[in-house]
Amino acid sequence: MATIGMFHYRKDPEKVRRSYSYASHAKMEGIEFFYFCSKRVDFDNQIINGLTYKNGVWIEKEYSFPDVIINPVGPLSKNKKQTEIYLKLKELIPFTSFPVGTKLSVYNRLKNGKEFTKHLIPYEKIKKPVDVLTFLNKYNKIIVKPISGHHGNKVLYIEKLDHFFKVIENEQTQNIDRIELYDYLSKLLKEQKMLMQKYIECRRKTGEPYDIRLHIQKGGEGKWQNTSVYPKIGLRDKITSNLGQGGQMTSVKKFLYKEFGEEYFNIKRYLEVFAIQFADHFDTLYDHSFDELGIDVGIDSDHNIWIYEINWRPGHLYLEEKASKLAVSYANYIAKNHSRKEDTHENDRS
């Protein structure tokens, strides 16, 4: 029987929503499961003082190092000791999740991978303010965003008009001239590294911005499958559909039917097939395999799919049961295959 450990920086599993869901699905599959944080690891004796869920409560139990570790989060970046323990465990035990890197590094990998470049929005890293002006001459409407940002923070819309530039950040719109834009960008670039993309018009018939999250995971056979496809709709005066800034999720079938009529079924199926094919390709761009991805895409007026962002830890909110079941099944798959590899190495040495 495989043993799965779940790492988290929080000491109390009651404060981690997924912990109970993982524990319950592991029990149903006959898998030993425990929760732990960095302080519970003993490298000298290779044991972890874990927490296991039994009869409605979390109880302490001593475990040997598990066959695999589910890592829905990493260590706190400011906690040096926690990071050291996390990285040391990663050298000894298979982990399920790996980071994809910054937005820029992801775009560069996709560009070099070539297979999905037609779905890649034209982009460039901003080295100096004049780069933005040159990019605007080419595309007229652009998005500027942090290379390492998330949650839609510091995302700007810039449009070149006849005698000035229209800049939108959050709900604030301002019309500024070339010199003012240059100064604005200079200040911005001193704060953080930014990239720019061509603006893709992706709005509902009623005017709200939207994108579609393709949430995919690997299951018990180690193959990609669709967990969910759901639209995220932003407020009409927003540039993006970020859920943290007033956006909302909705039913994909209902949404696609309203926007695309009788074509909704074919578009939904196209999105699902796209997600699997993309994930298979994305795996080849790295030295490790991913367990779960959240692919945010837009659909333009010609029904072309455009890739906005790739998330390696998409939220499980509203998808808890299905997502947790797949996560546990995939962890079990990793444990079994890692064990087989070790047995093969042992036989080769003997």
Domain ranges for the chain, please list them.
3-97, 103-118+203-312, 122-198
d(Cα 160, Cα 178) in Å, to the nearest integer?
10
- The whole-number pLDDT of residue 235 equals 86
With a cut of 80, say whether residue 293 has pLDDT above it.
yes
Which is higher by pLDDT, 342 or 222? 222
Give the containing element (helix H, strand E) for 35.
Answer: strand 32-36
For the segment 287-315, the average pLDDT, to the nearest whole number, is 93
* pLDDT, tens digit, 9 for 90 and up, residues 197-232: 999 999 999 999 999 999 999 999 999 999 999 999
Query: What fold does the segment set 122-198 form as a domain?
Result: Dna Ligase; domain 1 (3.30.1490)
Query: What fold does the segment set 103-118+203-312 form as a domain?
Result: D-amino Acid Aminotransferase; Chain A, domain 1 (3.30.470)
* pLDDT, tens digit, 9 for 90 and up, residues 127-172: 999 999 999 999 999 999 999 876 567 899 999 999 999 999 877 8
CA 230 to chain centroid, in Å, comes to 14
Q: What's the chain's average pLDDT?
A: 92
φ, ψ for residue 296, nearest 5 deg: -95, 120
Which is higher by pLDDT, 302 or 44? 44
Tokens of 118: 């037609």
- The whole-number pLDDT of residue 135 equals 98
For 3-97, give the CATH class. alpha beta
286 — pLDDT class (breaks 50, 70, 90) = very high
Q: Reduced to 3 states, what is the DSSP secondary structure of residue 74?
A: coil
β-partners of residue 177 are: none
Tokens of 201: 């018009």
d(Cα 339, Cα 345) in Å, to the nearest integer?
10
pLDDT above 90 covers a percentage of the chain that reads: 82
With a cut of 60, say whether residue 342 has pLDDT above it.
no
CA angle (215 as vertex; 17, 118 as ends), nearest 5: 150
